[in-house]
Amino acid sequence: MLKKWFSKKTQKQISLYLGEKQIAICDLQEGLPILLAKKVVNSEGQWAEVFTALVNKHQLQGCQVSVVLGREFYQTFDIEKPKVEESELLSSLPFTIKDLVSESVFNLVVDYYDMPFQQRKGEQITVICLPKTRVLMIRDMLVKSGLKLDGITIEELALSRLLGCHNEANILLSQQNNELVLTVVKEGQLYFTHRVRGFNELLVLPLADVENALLDGLSLEVQRALDYINSQLGINAVGALYLAVVCPDIKLLSEKLGAYLARNVQPYGEEDQYDFLSILAYGGLTQETAQ
């Protein structure tokens, strides 16, 4: 996304997640994505200071950077795909959404991605927009630290990259603020999201203390989602269910949830790095880079 804005010509590539409460940097080591660093921030205004310190600490000057932008910093709109020539679609989008945004479309960067085709809905796309000033601020922040911006993507597309491009669906259950979000990706496309509240307080407790309440509740929510994507979206082949939650017994939770559901359930991420905001940084690395 947004690659037309920037040239693309460096050697080593890293990815950077920029969020409202945290930034994280992901690197490739021996072909595998590794969480290199993460820091808490209080606002967008702290990005430059914190990022510059991390660049200097880890000697990242000269790298090419793919940015994953937190959902607080862009808008998305699901719309029917305009009936125009493909070559004209991108240029027509700002005027298609002009009544949906509060500022002039001339001050926005606008892009889109295709949604999975559903017969009852026809062709749908998701339009993404963010202020040009934010894009240029991110570019200038990187340039000042001696790095180059490769492109910017958003959380939804980063999640699709995380779960890969497979014929069978893969599912991520992630902890986002005060709710869990169940995300279904198939063939590299985001098919379905489902938000669940009421489990955050149970997750932080030892599993032995809350086993029935947690496992029964989670397994029921996941099974409902599986039933929905099977009946409504025609998806019956499911690969793995990944967990990105802060839980002291996440490995045991994965085993027990897998047994409840008769599915392959496993933590997503490195040892002790299963929080959702950190792993979003992985989504900035393209599949080609990670090979």
Confidence of residue 145 (pLDDT cuts 50, 70, 90): very high
Residue 234 has pLDDT above 60, yes or no: yes
Q: Following DSSP, what letter does each residue of 245-280 receive, concatenated? A: ---TTHHHHHHHHHHHHTSEEEE-SBTTB--HHHHH
Determine the CATH number of domain 164-290. Answer: 3.30.420.40
Residue 279: predicted pLDDT: 81
Instruction: Locate the domains of the chain by residue range.
Output: 3-71+134-159, 75-132, 164-290
Interior/surface letters 16-50, b for 16+ CB within 10 angstroms, e for the rest:
bbbbeebbbbbbbeeeebebbbbeebeebeebbeb
User: Tell me, what's the pLDDT at 4?
Assistant: 52
> For the segment 37-71, what is each residue's pLDDT rounded down to a tens digit?
999 999 999 999 999 999 999 999 999 999 999 99
Q: Identify the CATH number of the domain defined by range 75-132.
A: 3.30.1490
Please list, in sequence order, all residues whose beta carbon lies within 8 angstroms of the beta carbon of residue 216, skipping any fewer than 6 positions away. Answer: none
Q: Do domains 3-71+134-159 and 164-290 have the same CATH topology?
A: yes
d(CA 33, CA 281) in angstroms, rounded, equals: 9
Q: What's the pLDDT score for residue 273?
A: 66
Does residue 15 surpass a pLDDT of 80? yes
% of the chain with per-residue pLDDT over 90: 54
Res 131: pLDDT: 96
Integer Cα distance of 110 and 124 in angstroms: 16
Across 189-210, average pLDDT: 87
Give the right CATH number for 3-71+134-159 from 3.30.830.10, 3.30.420.40, 3.40.50.1220, 3.40.190.10.
3.30.420.40
pLDDT of residue 290: 35
Q: What is the pTM of this model?
A: 0.83
Task: Name residues whose C-beta falls within 8 Å of residue 12's C-beta, 6 or more positions apart in sequence.
Answer: 62, 63, 64
Q: Is the pLDDT of residue 119 over 70?
A: no
Please indicate whether residue 165 or residue 178 has the higher confidence score (pLDDT). Answer: 165
Mean pLDDT of all residues in the chain?
Answer: 87
Q: Tell me: the pLDDT tens digits for 239-277? A: 999 998 888 899 999 999 999 999 999 998 776 667 777
Q: For residues 279 and 291, what is the distance between their CA atoms, to the nearest angstrom? A: 18
Q: Which of 217, 243, 108, 235 is nearest to 162 (CA)?
A: 243
pLDDT in tens, 60-111: 999 999 999 999 999 999 999 998 898 899 999 999 999 999 999 999 999 9
Q: Judge contact between 54 and 140, C-beta under 8 A.
A: no
